[in-house]
Amino acid sequence: MNPLMEKIHLERCCNLIAMRTGIIIRVDERGSLRDYILTKLRSSSITSVESYFSILESDSTESRQEWRDLINGITIGESYFFRDKGQFGLLENRILPELIELRKKERALRIWSAGCSTGEEAYSLAILVSKLIPAPSDWKIFILGTDINEEFVKKAGKGFYGQWSFRRVEPDIKERYFKKRRDQWEIDGRIRDMVIFRTMNLVEEQIPGHYADLHNMDLILCRNLFIYFSRNSVAKVLKKLVSILAIDGYLMTGHGELHNQELDPLTPLIFSESVIYRKSGINKGNTGQAVRMTVMMPEKPLSCIQGKNHVSFNAEKTVHVTPDYPRPAIMVDENVLVEDMKSLFRSGDYAGVIKKAGAALDINPGNTDAYFFMARAYAGKGLYDEALKQLRHLLGYNPVNTGAYLLLAQISEIMGDHEGAKDSLKKVIYLDPGSVEAHLELGSIYRKEKDQVRSSKMRTTALQLINALPPETVFEIYDGISASDLGKYVAKMLEDE
């Protein structure tokens, strides 16, 4: 392909993918798409790019197979159990208990994990339900997991996972709900039987359509999917999800994924951990009438005004999603406070971390440890803008702090800013060439971009660095995993690439 034709063909392919799946191929990902197409032409009987696109645009068995291959090639399954502790804490402590109470007469609960990847999210929901309902077999529990990538769905149905899928999970969860099978863990059969998995294209398929069991859903999770979609595709899928959501049912998305979308008949509820949307019984249509938006705080529900397409806080009353930290009456050793922050963070008490960090900053406004742990706590609560604000303060005092850049990279990736994440990780490697975490995270991003060469290079370097460390070395950023175990998982990832 000459350069002009290559650009034209890539643009055409990107448009086809967007129309068919809703997925937007970013500029920095197009080289990987080009490589996929060239590999397809070399390894198949398709003779030209034009022939390939003609097949994609046709309605035939061959077209459906090529689309399956293409979708499997452009989607990446990067998931783990109980991903986003804040949101899952909200589900366990508030949303699911409320739904269970509401549905206790009919003893029926209906949940959908849309965009479930390899199944970790759907099984995490099943585990929560089994913990909250003493005798789940006495209930009619329907938990559905769907994804556009059929290979992911097949893996989900088997229920086998490597240690990497447990990197944010407390050990007792793994011991209670999984069985060790050589180098993998198998989900308990009772949990696996609670979940049904299907391949589904949310953009293209009619919903509910021929899916007779997709109705009156009490809870729908569609997280970290819309960040890959165009605004129109988000609106299209959102309408489908809302149509099958039960009255008073809940929709949970990734943080900020419904920005600038028409929300009626959804009412956003703001908890300290996350925003979640409840379906009301009245559809206000396009009247522009304001609806109430509740900010959920312990024992203190507050409210603000939501306009037609955006949220605007009432200027007469300041709303604090997280409470201000108390000012200490006496001076306390800031080193003690830092140790307290570490302990509170490990236990998941993010509000406690923020209070301690605030107290430490009262003593020393330049305490970079306090800014760092406050940023980690806000990130754990899903309040990424506030976390970024604390990181900016930190870097103002110490512009070569590698921990700050690592956290900045993680937040950037969650928010869909892959270039920003890569830039931060490269700064870490420049400042500390021996950073295992930076090499692993950068390798993960390159893998998502289908840059096999760079992904393997980063992970190979990480493995070399890990092997040079004492086996008992602990990686706090990966929840205390040892160098010995981390080395095994990285080696396995390299084998699977």
CATH domain 334-496 topology: 1.25.40
The string of pLDDT tens digits covering residues 15-44 is 899 998 988 887 777 888 888 888 888 888
Give me the amino acid identity at 325. Answer: Y
Least confident of 74-78, 219-223, 308-312, 396-400: 308-312
Phi/psi at 216 (nearest 5 deg)?
A: 45, 50
Q: Does 357 have pLDDT greater than 60?
A: yes
Residues 6+ apart with CB under 8 A from 40: 46, 52, 69
Domain boundaries, the chain: 3-74, 85-279, 334-496
CB atoms within 10 A of CB 3: 7
Q: Which helix (H) or strand (E) holds 233?
A: helix 231-243
The string of pLDDT tens digits covering residues 139-160 is 999 999 999 999 999 999 999 9
With CA atoms as reference, report the closest residue to 489 among 123, 158, 166. 166
Q: Taking the C-alpha atoms of 106, 209, 248 and 294 in order, what is their torsion angle to the nearest 10 degrees? A: 160
> Which pLDDT score, from 0 to 100, does residue 45 have?
85
- Domain 85-279 identical in fold to domain 334-496: no
> Which pLDDT score, from 0 to 100, does residue 359 have?
85
Range with the largest mean pLDDT of 23-32, 132-141, 202-211: 132-141
Phi/psi at 459 (nearest 5 deg)?
A: -70, -35
CB atoms within 10 A of CB 298: 9
User: If pLDDT is split at 50, 70 and 90, which confidence band does 131 have?
Assistant: very high
> Which pLDDT score, from 0 to 100, does residue 494 have?
86
Question: Positive or negative, the Cα torsion across 156, 212, 221, 130?
Answer: negative
Residues 6+ apart with CB under 8 A from 107: 138, 139, 140
**Three-class SS of 316-376:** CCCCCCCCCCCCCCCCCCHHHHHHHHHHHHHHCCHHHHHHHHHHHHHHCCCCHHHHHHHHH
The string of pLDDT tens digits covering residues 255-311 is 778 877 888 899 988 787 788 999 986 544 433 333 334 444 333 332 232 333 333
Q: Does 444 have pLDDT greater than 50?
A: yes
> Which pLDDT score, from 0 to 100, does residue 479 have?
64
| Token pair 């229920």 in the structure block, residue | 159
CATH architecture of 85-279: 3-Layer(aba) Sandwich (3.40)
Q: Does 342 have pLDDT greater than 90?
A: no
> Which pLDDT score, from 0 to 100, does residue 11 have?
86
> Which pLDDT score, from 0 to 100, does residue 334 have?
59
Cβ proximity of 432 and 402 under 8 Å: yes
The DSSP code for 310 is S
Cα 365 to Cα 68, 228, 357, 360, 370: the distances in Å are 55, 39, 10, 8, 9
What is the average pLDDT across 442-449? 86
The DSSP code for 188 is P
User: If pLDDT is split at 50, 70 and 90, which confidence band does 419 have?
Assistant: confident
What is the average pLDDT across 100-106? 93
What is the average pLDDT across 198-209? 89
Give the pairing type, strands 184-187 and 266-271: unpaired
Question: Positive or negative, the Cα torsion across 410, 415, 421, 424?
Answer: negative
Tokens of 389: 């604000």
Question: Positive or negative, the Cα torsion across 233, 236, 239, 244?
Answer: negative
Q: Does 109 have pLDDT greater than 90?
A: yes
> Which pLDDT score, from 0 to 100, does residue 323 have?
35
- pLDDT above 90 covers a percentage of the chain that reads 34
The DSSP code for 23 is B
Cα 190 to Cα 181, 195, 220: the distances in Å are 17, 9, 22
CB atoms within 10 A of CB 44: 13
The CA-CA-CA angle for residues 244, 246, 249, to 5°, reads 115
> Across all residues in the chain, what is the average pLDDT?
82
What is the average pLDDT across 187-207? 94
> Which pLDDT score, from 0 to 100, does residue 83 have?
87
What is the average pLDDT across 57-84? 86
CB atoms within 10 A of CB 182: 7
Cβ proximity of 56 and 63 under 8 Å: yes
Q: Does 65 have pLDDT greater than 50?
A: yes
User: If pLDDT is split at 50, 70 and 90, which confidence band does 333 have?
Assistant: low
**Three-class SS of 30-61:** HHHHHHHHHHHHHHCCCCCHHHHHHHHHCCCH
* Cross-sheet strand order for the sheet of 302-306: 195-199, 140-147, 108-114, 217-222, 245-253, 275-279, 266-271, 291-296, 302-306, 311-312
